[in-house]
Amino acid sequence: MKYQLVGIRNQDHANKLFNQIKQLPNKEQIHLNEEELEIEVEDITCYENLQRLLSYEKVGLKSLDYHEHEHQHSQEHNHSHDHSHDVDFTSGSQAVRNMMLVFGINIVFSVLEAIFGLLFNSASILADAVHDFGDALSIGLAWFFQKISLKGSDSTFSYGYKRYSLLGALITSVVLLVGSAVMIIHSGEKLMNPEPVNYQGMLILAIFAIIANGVSAWIISKGSSHNESILSLHLLEDVLGWVGVLVVSVVLHFTDWYFLDPLLSIGIALFILYKTIPEFMKVVRLFLQAVPDNIDSKKLREEIQNIDNINGLSHFHLWSLDGEAHMMSMTISTTSDSVQTHEQIKNEVRHILSENDIAHSNIEIVYDPYNILNSK
Residue 342 has pLDDT above 50, yes or no: yes
Of 115 and 42, the one with more pLDDT:
115
Report DSSP state, residue 292: P
β pairing state of 326-334 and 60-63: unpaired
Neighbours of 118 (CB within 10 A): 12
Distance CA(367)–CA(376), nearest Å, equals 16
Looking at residue 283, what is its pLDDT? 87
pLDDT confidence band for 109 (50 / 70 / 90)? confident
Looking at residue 329, what is its pLDDT? 95
- In this chain, the answer to whether the domains covering 1-79 and 292-376 adopt an identical fold is yes
Residue 103 has pLDDT above 60, yes or no: yes
Classify domain 292-376 at the CATH superfamily level: Cation efflux protein, cytoplasmic domain (3.30.70.1350)
Distance CA(41)–CA(30), nearest Å, equals 5
pLDDT confidence band for 229 (50 / 70 / 90)? low
**Count, residues in the chain:** 376
Per-domain boundaries in the chain: 1-79, 91-287, 292-376
**Stretch 114-132: mean pLDDT, rounded?**
84
Highest mean pLDDT of the ranges 108-112, 131-135, 255-259, 298-302? 298-302
Residue 366 has pLDDT above 50, yes or no: yes
**Stretch 27-55: mean pLDDT, rounded?**
85
Looking at residue 356, what is its pLDDT? 87
Q: Could you tell me which of 4, 153, 155 has the C-alpha nearest to residue 68?
A: 4
Per-residue pLDDT of 51-92, as tens digits, reads 888 888 888 888 876 444 444 444 444 443 343 334 444 444
Q: Pseudo-torsion of CA 337, 342, 344, 349, nearest 10°?
A: 140
DSSP per-residue letters across 186-200: HHHHHHHS-----HH
Looking at residue 173, what is its pLDDT? 81
Residue 172 has pLDDT above 90, yes or no: no
Q: Are 5 and 85 spatial neighbours (Cβ–Cβ below 8 Å)?
A: no
Highest mean pLDDT of the ranges 103-107, 261-265, 363-367, 370-374? 363-367
Q: Pseudo-torsion of CA 135, 270, 111, 216, nearest 10°?
A: 40
**Stretch 28-44: mean pLDDT, rounded?**
86
Per-residue pLDDT of 268-324, as tens digits, reads 888 888 888 888 898 899 899 999 988 999 999 999 999 999 999 999 999 998 887
Looking at residue 274, what is its pLDDT? 87
Region of 335 on the Ramachandran plot (φ > 0 left; ψ -120 to 50 alpha; else beta) = alpha
DSSP helix/strand/coil, 58: coil
Amino acid at 165: S
Looking at residue 60, what is its pLDDT? 80
Mean of the per-residue pLDDT values for the chain?
81
Helices and strands in the chain: count of H runs, count of E runs = 11, 7
Residue 157 has pLDDT above 90, yes or no: no
Residue 224 has pLDDT above 80, yes or no: no
107 — phi, psi (to 5°)?
Answer: -70, -40
**Stretch 9-21: mean pLDDT, rounded?**
84
- Distance of CA 246 to CAs 36, 185, 196, 347, Å? 46, 23, 16, 61
Q: Are 212 and 107 spatial neighbours (Cβ–Cβ below 8 Å)?
A: no
pTM confidence score: 0.69
Instruction: Just give the CATH number of 91-287.
Output: 1.20.1510.10
Of 150 and 289, the one with more pLDDT:
289
Distance CA(191)–CA(260), nearest Å, equals 8
pLDDT confidence band for 376 (50 / 70 / 90)? low
- Return the CA Rg of the chain: 26
CATH architecture label of 1-79: 2-Layer Sandwich (3.30)
pLDDT confidence band for 251 (50 / 70 / 90)? very high
